[in-house]
Every structure is written in structure tokens, then in C-alpha cells.
Amino acid sequence: MNTQFIIDYLSALDKNNNREWYHANKDDYKKANAEFEKLLQALMLEIGKFDGSILHNDPKNLTFKIVRDTRFSHDKSPYNPAFRAHISSKGKLPVPVGYYLMVKPGNQSFLGGGLFADMFKDATTMVRDYIVQNGEEWENLIHDPTFEKHFTVQGTALKKVPAGYDKGHPQAEYLKFKSWYLEYPIKDEELNDAEAFAAKAAGLFQIMKPFNDYLNKALVKFQMPTR
């Protein structure tokens, strides 16, 4: 696993974010992408030690395209200089929630988990309703000392508790959320030793797993919208 090649390629793409450079260096992209898939495979084997539900995945099916959709963006750069993947029992679909990895030079890499659900209103409602009914379990999860040492629940949120929910509910602040996710920053140098990184990342994902499990229990009946 040549993680340095991944960083070098993405750094070069960031400085030359145009179609001409990208196509002229397509072989380097293919090599960097292959190295990222090797990293994913190593990471999956480590995760599989505590979550076997993800082991059937092929790394090729877990990654996201680097081509950006610029139609509604002020930034017209055609590529996102990052390699990204989501590992769950159903691959890279956002539900069920799983383990997210983004490798991006400039100390912008991170491990993620939880639900990015702003566009899925049904999913947001399911999680809110589940928190209402299982608030004590939620509190125990997010205030577990090991969890708190590494993670803080993040997410876009409303200014007020949404209609239909008790403003005085013990978890009212979290009922405002539309998404509930976790991020753990990774520095570039931590990627130098791929095997050590995979082991560290899996350890953090193991701490994250009860949080993911909680959300997945809330989302058990969720169905992805059909296009």
C-alpha cells in the first residue's frame, strides 16, 4: 500500500484542477485509486474483527467519484482532490450507516460515521422519534468517557425544536438536528504507515460502532428514495 503515492497524486490534482491535466495524468489516477482500494481492503479486514457484516464488500464498490457536480456551485473546479469511501453492510449507501474515510492532503483527511441525512426527511424523522423513545440510551452512548474522548456529535440543526416534539424533552437539543454524524481528523503523516493507520482507524471505528448501531436501529425500516 503506497499511501504516499495517493497523497502526492491528490496534491498534484489540487494544484492542477483542470480536465487537461487530469486526462494527461490518467495513469497516475488509476494507480492512486488502486492504492486507495488496497488501503480500504486492509481497513475492512481490521474492521471485520469486530463487525463482520462489512466483509463481503468489494473496495471498488465503496468509493465515490472525484468528478464534482458543479451545476449549482460557485466553485467550478471539475475534480474533488480527495479519495472517499463508505463501508457498511450495504456498501456505500448512506443507510445503513457505517464507516466513512476521506483522504485529502493538507491535513484535511478524516474518519467519519453516523448519518448525513439532510436530504432524507424520512430518515431524520425516524432518528428523532427513536431518540424520543430511547433518550437514556442516547445519553449513555454520547457521554461514554471513551466516546467523548474522541468524538462529538455534529450535524446541521434547526434553531428550534421542530413541531410535534416536546420542547422540554431531555434530548431536545438533539431533536433539532437533521443529521447526526461524527468526524475524527487525520493528519497527513498518519497515513505514512498504511498498516498502522488501518489499525488505528479500525480502533476508532470500533469506538464509533455503538453510535452507528443506535442510528441503524432507528433506521431499520428506512427505504432509499427511488430516482
- Cα separation of 140 and 171, whole Å? 12
Between helix 194-218 and helix 121-133 the angle, nearest 10°, is: 80
Instruction: Identify whether 225 is part of a domain.
Output: no
Calculate mean pLDDT across residues 94-107: 96
Bridge partner residues of 67 (DSSP): 79
Render pLDDT for 146-193 as a digit per residue (tens, 0 to 9): 999 999 999 999 999 999 999 999 999 999 999 999 999 999 999 999
Per-residue pLDDT tens over the stretch 41-96? 999 999 999 999 999 999 999 999 999 887 887 888 999 999 999 999 999 999 99
Question: What pLDDT, on a 0 to 100 scale, did the predictor assign at position 95?
Answer: 94
Q: Residue 202: pLDDT band by 50, 70, 90 thresholds?
A: very high
Question: 3-state class of 63 per DSSP?
Answer: strand
pLDDT at 62: 98
Q: Find the CATH number of the domain harbouring 60.
A: 3.30.930
With respect to residue 227, please indicate whether it lies within any of the assigned structural domains: no
Reported pTM: 0.94
Averaged pLDDT, 8-24 = 97
- Model pLDDT, residue 25: 98
| Domain annotation covers residue 146 | yes
Please write the tens of the pLDDT for every residue from 114-155.
998 778 899 999 999 999 999 999 999 999 999 999 999 999
Dist. CA 71–CA 101, nearest whole Å: 25
Q: Which of 78, 59, 53, 60 is nearest to 68 (CA)?
A: 78
Residue 135 lies in a domain: yes
Report pLDDT for 161: 97
Residue 74 confidence (pLDDT): 83
Question: What's the number of domains the chain is made of?
Answer: 1
Asked if the model's pLDDT at residue 227 lies above 80, the reply is no
Q: Is residue 226 part of a domain?
A: no
What range defines the domain where residue 204 resides? 3-218
206 pLDDT higher than 90: yes
pLDDT at position 90: 94
Helices (H), 81-170: 121-133, 135-142, 145-150
Residue 86 lies in a domain: yes
In the chain, the percentage of residues whose pLDDT exceeds 70 is 100
